[in-house]
Amino acid sequence: MRKYQVTMAAPFLYNIGVSFHETGNLKKKDVKLFDYYKSDSVNAKQKAAILKWCKDARFFSSSPEYAPEMRSVMICFPKAGFYRVGFSD
């Protein structure tokens, strides 16, 4: 397994079998803290592999207001700004 690089997150997710349907950045005061990948599901084995590769990865769940039973998982990988300014959950 290669060392964590945020630019390699998409191929890493693909290689462990995580499919995603949306990507983007999470910002705080115009500082990009995370690249995120939204997936329908992440199993325990995949989550463990992600955390082994990137110990600072974060996982959030979200659902649309019109259909709260439909849940998505946001897998967030830290960018340089995360390490500069920090982040509080």
Each residue's pLDDT tens digit, 48-61: 999 999 999 999 98
Question: DSSP string of 13-74?
Answer: HHHTT---SEEEEEEETTEEEEEEEEES---HHHHHHHHHH-TT-EEEEE--TT-TT--EEE
Question: What pLDDT is attached to residue 39?
Answer: 95
Residue 18 has pLDDT above 70, yes or no: yes
Residue 64 has pLDDT above 80, yes or no: no
Question: What pLDDT is attached to residue 62?
Answer: 81
